[in-house]
Every structure is written in C-alpha cells, then in structure tokens.
C-alpha cells in the first residue's frame, strides 16, 4: 500500500518519510503469523516432559529456563503483534504466577484457527464475538467442574505446588520445595472477612549458590545478604533491639567545594577531634536508646564502626530499601532518617540476630521477630543457574499456593480441564446459529492444543491420545488427561496432578483478549526508524579516549 494516495493527480503526503503501511488481509496475516511464531517458540517447553531453553543475552550471560515468561522476556522481541503475546505471558505471570506457556500457546492457537475462518470469509468481528461467547462458556464450565478445598489444607497446597514444579529443572526435589512453599504461604496468610489474603512481599527470597537444593531452608524471620561490618562486633545477639536507619553514618560532604586553611598542628588536631566527636555523638544517640543491633541502609564510616564495636553493637550496612521495609514490618521497628528524632519506641525487636557463613559468604539472619508473619526462603543449589531457575520455580509454586489459599478451588491438570472445556464448547456450538457456531467450534479445538502439546512433548502420538481423550470425556470422565510419564490417558485427579482454578481462568481471559485484540487490527502504520545518534569515538580508557568530554 502506498502512503501517498493521489487526489486528482496531486499526491497528498499524510505520513512522514520512511513510514510504512499495510492494510486489510495482509496486515491480519502478518500479525497472526508473528503471534503464532511466538507461540511456536514456547511450545516445546510445556509440561513435565517439556524441554528447557538456553538464552544468551547480548552480554553473553546465560539463562536456562522453561518458564514461559522468562523465555519471552529474554528473547527481546521486536514485532508489535509478537510483543502482544509477550504481554499475555506478563499478565498471566503478574495475575496468577503460573500458566504463562499455556496462555501463549492457546492465544497462538486461537489466532491460527481464526485465520482458517477468515479464509472462509468469516468476518473478524464475528470471530471475536464467537470467541467472547466461548470464553464465557469456558469460564462457566471451569466453575462447574472445580473442586472446592480447604484453604488451610496443606496436603492439597503441597500437591498444587508440586504440579507447578513438575515441569521445571527442580522437579526432582519438588516434594521438598513444595513443602517449603506451602509452609511459607500459610505463615503469611491473613484472614480478612472470612477470606485469606496473601501478600507475597511478606516472603523474602534469597539465593546463594552452593550445597544442594535440599539445603534450601525456610527461615522464620529475615535474611540479609550482608555481613557484620566490623570484626570487633559481636556476631550473635539474643533479645535484639534493632535500630533501623536510612541515613549514612558519616560526616556529610558539602555540596560545594570549600577551602579550609589550617596553619598549625593544633588546628589540625582540633579539626580531627571535632570530626571524631561528631561521629561519636551519632553512636551515642543509638547506644543510649539501648539498641544492640543497627541495620543501616547507607554507609557506615570506619570510625563509627569502631565506636559501635566498642559499644557491643552488631551493625550491618547498605541493606536494600525493600529489606528495610520488611525489617520494619517484621521487627515492629521504624526506619529513622534523622538521628535527632530517634526514640526508644522506634526500635524493633527480634529473639536472635546472627551472622552465619553460607557457602563462601556471610549472611545476617534476623529470627524470632515480633511479627511472625515474615518469613524468608534461602535457596541453595549446585550452581548459579540452578539457584536462578529454582528461584523462578519457587516463585511459581508460591504463586499457585497463594492462588488456592485466596480462591480455594482446584482442577486436575494434564490437559483434562482443557479437554472438558472443548467438549462442552462443541456441544454449545451446536446450539448456535451459523458463523458464530464455527467460531465457538474453533475455540474448542484451540483448547485441545494443551493435551496435544503435552503428548507431543512426551513423544506420544497426539492423534491417538486426543481421540481416546475425546471418547473418555464423552463418557463423563471429566478428569481424563495425559499421563506423560506412563504415556497413556489416565485420571489426573487420582494422579493428584492438581492446579488452581484461578490459573486456568486467567489463561482463558488473557488468551482470548490477546487474540481478539490482534484480530481487530486491519491496518498497521509504522513510523520510519529513527537514526541512532552518532557514537563518540572510542579510544583507550573509554569513549572519550581517557579525556573528559570537554
């Protein structure tokens, strides 16, 4: 298409030079294709038999993962429609924490099926309407088949966490890790008006390479990846009174350059003495409130460290801001900025603050806090990459357990709910008129992509599996799904492959929305690429050849 339509022979330019425009079928086809390529890219990662991906970024850093969102985030995708698929994974992850791969696969499948209908001259708006109806019916079906559980029932929670980790690198240790994830969530869950609420920020996750995944621990308290600042300080304090500071314990530098003329050694002495007194008085202000632990968000001057050590105060510096907030919540203390305003009531309390050696590093543990709702998970594992992937898997596990605690309903997995939704939708399609029925039919088939992909990834013949699944669902076996380990169709509920209904609901919502959004586009107008500013010449010692820019 040209960006310069001609009016009575005069070209009228409405777009900037370099802009491109694509309309109608061509635009739709390009978008659908891009979205499908994204879905195709994550397909092989679905399920316990799915493969992992190795992603290498522009700095050469390697990530090994099977987490849908991480794969798409790291892929650095450019195409606008493909980016919308990345958004699907993001929304899914932010809302419920799991099911990102499934959501992207279904969105891709919905678009592929829509393309078939467009070929048959069904208008995209009819397809979108059909998809909306189908989504409502699918949500209704899930609501009907969902199994209610008790939110405090740790056995179920653990099973749900185990299913989410079955498809990850850490699968072998999933029983142990699932126990930790479910205990952590039960620790921080709070009942508000008959319903549990969980704030994942109450769970701190720290990781340190070394030892093995089974050395991962749940700590009732907080872990700081920091060591005690001075060797002369105590390393263990019981009945800790914790001062939390977010200012530096240093002599402040002036904002402008000042000149000081010192003419005699006495003056010099007096000057240094003055500085020392200032620092000493800072320590006094903390010590006189009976604090025996100090956690500081900023730096602590060497001299201050020395005085603190003399007072027997354990101090940690440069704690993260987010950790300071957690510490305040956990210990019941207040983060203080101005030492003048520091009062005894601002101190937090904990049964024990201790520095421990973890691997080659030292970490500070704050345990037995006033508020028992704060917990930390310290992840250990053979290598950096294992602890990184373990962190992502534990994130998924924490999210699914939270989902169930907040909305205590589960379904079995292994493609069973997707097959059941597909069956109900096909029946529903028969009750609808003409073209909309076609859209609902296609929507149903898109859902069959989940058991199909699970079987493909397990090296099974998807045609055999799907026909058996269809037959068994017809007979009323709603939990018939793919047992990927034994390579046959089985009852997923009996196999205890359990998932939160919230994850499945969100998959339906995000996949349908993304597919509809992409289908609605029939015109792509892209501005010309901006030219990158010229790079400064390179030379020894940096871009300016070791010289200041001016």
Ligand X SMILES: Nc1ncnc2c1ncn2[C@@H]1O[C@H](COP(=O)(O)OP(=O)(O)OP(=O)(O)O)[C@@H](O)[C@H]1O
Contact between 67 and Mg ion by CB under 5 A: the answer reads no
**Residues belonging to the active site:** 67, 100-101, 396
Strand 335-336 relative to strand 20-23, pairing: unpaired
Least distance to Mg ion from the beta carbon of 109, Å? 18
Chain positions 235 to 274 lying near ligand X, rule: CB under 6 A, are none
Least distance to Mg ion from the beta carbon of 98, Å? 4
Least distance to ligand X from the beta carbon of 49, Å? 8
Contact between 484 and ligand X by CB under 6 A: the answer reads yes
User: Which among 143, 140, 144, 132 is positioned nearest to 440, based on CA atoms?
Assistant: 132
Secondary structure of residue 397 in the 3-state scheme: helix
Residue 333 or 462 having the CB closest to ligand X: 462
Residue 101 or 512 having the CB closest to ligand X: 101
Which residue of 482, 489, 511, 515 would you call a contact of ligand X, by CB under 6 A?
482
Give the chain's end-to-end CA distance (angstroms, integer): 48
Contacts of 94 (CB under 8 A, 6+ apart): none
Least distance to ligand X from the beta carbon of 422, Å? 14
Q: Distances in Å between the alpha carbon of 141 and those of 33, 49, 134, 135, 278?
A: 30, 28, 10, 10, 70
Q: Distances in Å between the alpha carbon of 479 and those of 30, 151, 412, 419, 460?
A: 38, 22, 6, 9, 19
Contact partner at residue 381 from ligand X, Mg ion, none, CB < 5 to 8 Å by partner kind = none
For 48, phi and psi rounded to 5 degrees?
-60, -25
Which residue of 98, 346, 354, 355 would you call a contact of Mg ion, by CB under 5 A?
98
Contact between 350 and ligand X by CB under 6 A: the answer reads no
**Three-point CA angle 64, 70, 72, nearest 5°:** 110
Contact between 465 and ligand X by CB under 6 A: the answer reads no
How many residues sit in the footprint of Mg ion (CB under 5 A)?
Answer: 2
Write each residue from 100 to 129 as x if it is in contact with ligand X (CB under 6 A), else as -, in one continuous string. xxx---------------------------
Residue with tokens 């987490």: 67
Residue 53 or 133 having the CB closest to ligand X: 53
Q: Which stretch binds Mg ion (CB under 5 A): 50-58, 154-162, 164-172, 503-511?
A: 164-172
Least distance to Mg ion from the beta carbon of 164, Å? 5
How many residues sit in the footprint of ligand X (CB under 6 A)?
Answer: 26
Q: Which residue is nearest to ligand X (CB)?
A: 413
Instruction: Count Cβ neighbours within 10 Å for each residue of 376-387 and write b for 16 or more, e otherwise.
Output: bbbbbbeeebbb
Residue 342 or 447 having the CB closest to ligand X: 447
Which residue of 32, 47, 291, 429 would you call a contact of ligand X, by CB under 6 A?
47
Residue 167 or 182 having the CB closest to ligand X: 167
Q: Which stretch binds ligand X (CB under 6 A): 98-106, 121-129, 231-239, 274-282?
A: 98-106
Contact between 518 and ligand X by CB under 6 A: the answer reads no
Secondary structure of residue 514 in the 3-state scheme: helix
Neighbours of 115 (CB within 10 A): 18
User: Which among 102, 89, 151 is positioned nearest to 401, based on CA atoms?
Assistant: 151
Residue 336 or 497 having the CB closest to Mg ion: 497
Contact between 67 and ligand X by CB under 6 A: the answer reads yes
Contact partner at residue 213 from ligand X, Mg ion, none, CB < 5 to 8 Å by partner kind = none
Residue 36 or 455 having the CB closest to ligand X: 455
Q: Please, where are the H alpha helices in 288-383?
A: 302-310, 321-331
DSSP 300: B
Which residue of 27, 34, 38, 46 would you call a contact of ligand X, by CB under 6 A?
46
Which residue of 34, 41, 43, 50 would you call a contact of ligand X, by CB under 6 A?
50
Tokens (6 digits) for 361: 């590093």
Contact partner at residue 450 from ligand X, Mg ion, none, CB < 5 to 8 Å by partner kind = ligand X
Residues 330, 331, 332, 338, Cα dihedral to 10°:
-110
Contact between 98 and ligand X by CB under 6 A: the answer reads yes
Q: Which stretch binds Mg ion (CB under 5 A): 22-30, 159-167, 435-443, 515-523?
A: 159-167
Residue 103 or 293 having the CB closest to Mg ion: 103
User: Which among 14, 43, 48 is positioned nearest to 414, based on CA atoms?
Assistant: 48
Contact between 91 and ligand X by CB under 6 A: the answer reads no
Inter-helix orientation angle 416-430/449-457, to 10°: 150
User: Which among 363, 103, 26, 438 is positioned nearest to 209, based on CA atoms?
Assistant: 363
Residue 174 or 423 having the CB closest to Mg ion: 174
Least distance to ligand X from the beta carbon of 307, Å? 51
Contact between 396 and ligand X by CB under 6 A: the answer reads yes
For 256, phi and psi rounded to 5 degrees?
-115, 160
Contact 358, 379 (CB under 8 A): no
Q: Which stretch binds Mg ion (CB under 5 A): 11-19, 45-53, 127-135, 158-166?
A: 158-166
Secondary structure of residue 275 in the 3-state scheme: helix
Partners of 366 in beta bridges? 222, 353
Secondary structure of residue 333 in the 3-state scheme: coil
Contact between 390 and ligand X by CB under 6 A: the answer reads no
Element at 401 (helix H, strand E): helix 384-406
Binding site for ligand X (CB under 6 A): 45-48, 50, 66-68, 98-102, 163, 166-167, 396, 413-414, 450, 454, 482-484, 497, 499
Binding site for Mg ion (CB under 5 A): 98, 164
């Amino acid at each position: 298409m040209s960006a310069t339509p001609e009016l009575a022979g005069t070209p009228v330019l409405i777009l900037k030079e370099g802009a491109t425009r694509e309309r109608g079928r061509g635009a739709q086809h390009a978008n659908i294709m891009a979205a499908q390529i994204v879905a195709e890219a994550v397909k092989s990662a679905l399920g316990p038999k799915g493969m992992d991906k190795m992603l290498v970024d522009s700095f050469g850093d390697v990530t090994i993962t099977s987490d849908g969102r991480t794969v798409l985030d790291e892929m650095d995708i450019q195409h606008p429609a493909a980016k919308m698929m990345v958004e699907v994974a993001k929304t899914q992850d932010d809302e419920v924490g799991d099911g990102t791969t499934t959501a992207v696969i279904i969105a891709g499948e919905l678009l592929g099926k829509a393309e078939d209908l467009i070929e048959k001259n069904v208008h995209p708006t009819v397809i979108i309407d059909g998809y909306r109806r189908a989504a409502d019916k699918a949500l209704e079906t899930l609501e009907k088949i969902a199994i209610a559980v008790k939110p405090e029932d740790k056995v179920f929670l653990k099973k749900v966490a185990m299913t989410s980790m079955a498809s990850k690198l850490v699968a072998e240790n999933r029983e142990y890790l699932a126990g930790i994830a479910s205990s952590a969530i039960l620790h921080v869950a709070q009942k508000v008006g008959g319903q549990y609420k969980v704030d994942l920020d109450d769970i701190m996750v720290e990781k340190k390479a070394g030892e093995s995944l089974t050395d991962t621990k749940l700590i009732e308290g907080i872990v700081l990846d920091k060591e005690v600042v001075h060797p002369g300080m105590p390393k263990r304090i019981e009945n800790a009174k914790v001062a939390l500071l977010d200012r530096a314990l240093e002599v402040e530098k002036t904002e402008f350059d000042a000149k000081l003329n010192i003419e005699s050694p006495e003056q010099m002495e007096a000057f240094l003495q003055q500085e020392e007194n200032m620092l000493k008085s800072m320590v006094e202000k903390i010590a006189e409130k009976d604090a025996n632990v100090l956690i500081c968000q900023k730096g602590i001057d060497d001299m201050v460290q020395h005085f603190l050590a003399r007072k027997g105060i354990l101090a940690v510096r440069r704690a993260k801001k987010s950790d300071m907030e957690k510490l305040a919540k956990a210990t019941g203390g207040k983060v203080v900025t101005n030492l003048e305003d520091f009062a005894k009531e601002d101190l937090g309390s904990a049964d024990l603050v201790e520095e421990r050696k973890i691997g080659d590093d030292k970490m500070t543990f704050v345990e037995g806090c006033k508020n028992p709702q704060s917990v930390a998970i310290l992840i250990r594992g053979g290598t950096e990459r294992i602890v990184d992937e373990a962190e992502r898997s534990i994130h998924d596990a924490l999210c699914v357990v939270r989902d169930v605690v907040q909305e205590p309903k589960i379904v079995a997995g292994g493609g069973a709910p997707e097959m059941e939704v597909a069956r109900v939708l096909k029946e529903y399609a028969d009750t609808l008129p003409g073209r909309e029925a076609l859209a609902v039919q296609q929507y149903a088939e898109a859902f069959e992509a989940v058991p199909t992909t699970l079987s493909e990834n397990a090296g099974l013949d998807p045609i055999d599996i799907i026909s058996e699944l269809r037959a068994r669902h017809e007979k009323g076996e709603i939990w018939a799904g793919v047992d990927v380990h034994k390579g046959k169709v089985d009852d997923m509920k009996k196999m205890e492959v359990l998932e939160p209904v919230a994850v499945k609901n969100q998959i339906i919502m995000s996949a349908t929305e993304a597919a509809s959004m992409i289908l609605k586009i029939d015109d792509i107008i892209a501005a010309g690429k901006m030219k990158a500013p010229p790079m400064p010449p390179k030379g020894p010692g940096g871009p300016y050849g070791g010289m200041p820019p001016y």
